[in-house]
Amino acid sequence: MSSFYFRNVYFKTIYDQRRLTLWIGIGLIAAALYTTLLFPVIRDISGFEEFVDELPDFILSLVGGALEFTTPEGYLNTQPFSVLAPLLMLTYAVVRGSALVAGEEESHTLDQLLANPISRTSLVAQKSLGLLTGLMVLAVLLWASIQVGAAIAGFSVDLWNLTQIVFNLFLLAASAGMLAAGIGAATGKRGNAGGITAGVLVAGWLFNAIQQLAAVLEWTRFISVFWYYNGNNILLNGTIAWHSMVLFGVAAASIVAGAYVFQRRDLR
Amino acid sequence: MPAAIETHGLTKFYGEHVGLRDLTLEVEPGEVFGLLGPNGAGKTTTIRLLLDFIKPTRGSATVLGLDSHAGSMEIRRRTGYLPGDFISYPNLAAGEVFDYFIHLRGGERPGDLQAMCERFKLDASRKFGELSRGNRQKVGLVQAYMGGPELVVLDEPTSGLDPLLQIEFQELVRERRAAGATQFISSHLLHEVEAICDRVGIIREGQLVALEKIEALKARARSAMTVEVADDATAAAEAFGNIADIEVTEVSGHRITLSSAGDIDAVIKTAARFEVTSFESHPPALDEVFMAYYGGENDSGESNTEEAEERDYS
């Protein structure tokens, strides 16, 4: 019964994103199964490692740096965790984050929603929790699909490291989602929210790639969320706690600042 | 008992642009108050200030005895609201929109919801996005009135409603009034305000230019009369022109148009001296009062858009 979803703003948010969650979820499952099931084939191709080594460094840096395809962890670190999974998770986070407050404001439903006895802070909190729940569901799907795929393909992945990288991916997407939601809440403009966040992500992606190529630019990695996501190649080396804390901090600061401005500004 | 709505010097600037300037008014509990003015006059700004959607530049407002900002949650708990150009979630059925708002208001299903949907012939199972403009407005009205809130704030409530539903709406306003609810209604439609409001504030360019009981406004208005006589109208027109407070506004052929401040007895008695073929009296309409407030001051440099809008009122 659909009235289940209309109990409060949180469940309404889950309802609003149900279709996107479904499609992105399917995408993540497909990416996880595709990469894991292909691992035995890639591993056994003679000369593949050499072929990869001959690729230009810049290409390699864009897909996660030095590649190592003989162990499951090294392989999965590149795919899906360097490109496909972040791309899907971040797409979800930016689309939903910019829709949370700014999307509702632009479609002129925010007035009537706030004509009900609900505070603006509570509105932002419930909607943000809705988005975080969606991201968590996707993260768990990815985590489970990789294990299922690995089991089918007949290899195993370090469970603890897998959990850590999936959690960091969740945090990466959460920071992007909260940034988009925060900008949207502060400005009421969906274009600002999505555009600025996408810009920050693309810049971060490039910084993270470039710093791998030139030692003089190594410091730039500290301004990229992607460095904090998987700069340590978590599947191989485990996570670094403060990297995760930085992602968490970006998410928290973005949404708190957005809610603070939203609380004090005029609705459009 | 505190006033239902009270504002003191309520002012809102949007940058350089004046949204509302020094609005001071009081709406009594149980009153139906009409805020009348053209588009862009400050009606919506007033309503959005009352509901704490926007913050005043200066001044203050209390609603149901509570500060419009500090007491906003409690105010909204006790107030039904219909925004101008009501739009809701396109992919939700009307019933789901009601469901959502009912839950946000505490979850108790209003006993009058079903009856209101039937009254406005609203099919609550249809998706909002598929509804016609009139049906959307019905959804807005039902959600504003459901549960019988003690204050109802409506921004242009009848836009998009057909005449039959407008009458149904007016009936609803009267019923809620009888039940003791306060209703604050913005409109640019004179006949609507005239039909349902006890008192009216006329607002223009962000400023309140009149605040009176409907009856008092009507008393100010001059009623128009059209008399047709069998013979040439010149003699009759002269006779009418001699009556105090009567103004002959037009004479053509057999027809004379008069404007009266109220006393029509003398007009009838004078008319009796001639052979009258037709006599029509038009009740005083607010249009004239309204036009007097609007057209009276002719600020130079004002845009013509407002004049264009004014024509819609007649």
Tell me the residues of chain A between 98 and 127 that have a Cβ less than 8 Å away from chain B.
107-109, 111-119
Q: What is the residue-averaged pLDDT of chain B?
A: 87
Average pLDDT score over residue span B2-16 = 95
Banded pLDDT at B150 (limits 50, 70, 90): very high
CA dist A151 to A61, A104, A145, A157, Å?
A: 29, 43, 10, 9
Whether pLDDT at A202 is above 70? yes
Average pLDDT score over residue span A86-114 = 97
Instruction: Report the residue from B74, B81, B107 with minimal CB separation from A115.
Output: B81
Q: CA of A268, closest CA in chain B: separation in Å?
A: 8
Q: What is the CA radius of gyration of chain A?
A: 20
Give me the count of residues in chain B: 314
Average pLDDT score over residue span A204-231 = 86
pLDDT of residue B39: 84
Instruction: Name the amino acid, one letter, at B207.
Output: Q
pLDDT in tens, A220-229: 888 899 999 9
pLDDT of residue B192: 83
Banded pLDDT at B286 (limits 50, 70, 90): low
The answer to whether B99 faces chain A, any CB pair under 8 Å, is yes
Specify the pTM.
0.86
pLDDT in tens, A136-153: 999 999 999 999 999 999
Hey, CA dihedral for A76, A81, A82, A87, is it positive or negative?
A: positive
pLDDT of residue B314: 33
pLDDT in tens, B238-268: 888 888 778 888 888 889 988 877 677 888 8
pLDDT of residue B284: 65
CB B306 within 8 A of CB B38: yes
Six token digits for residue B302: 């004002």
d(CA A254, CA A124) in angstroms, rounded, equals 12
pLDDT of residue B310: 37
Q: How many inter-chain contacts (A to B, CB under 8 Å) are there?
A: 62
By percentage, how much of chain B surpasses pLDDT 90?
A: 58
- Write phi, then psi, for B193 (nearest 5 degrees): -60, -40
Task: Give contacts of A3 with chain B, Cβ < 8 Å.
Answer: 96, 99
Whether pLDDT at B17 is above 60? yes
Whether pLDDT at B311 is above 70? no
CB A101 within 8 A of CB A184: yes
pLDDT of residue B300: 38
- Residue to substitute from A4, A5, A6, A264, interface B, most B β-carbons within 10 A: A6
CB A36 within 8 A of CB A154: no
Residue A256 burial by Cβ neighbours in a 10 Å radius (0-12, 13-18, 19+): middle
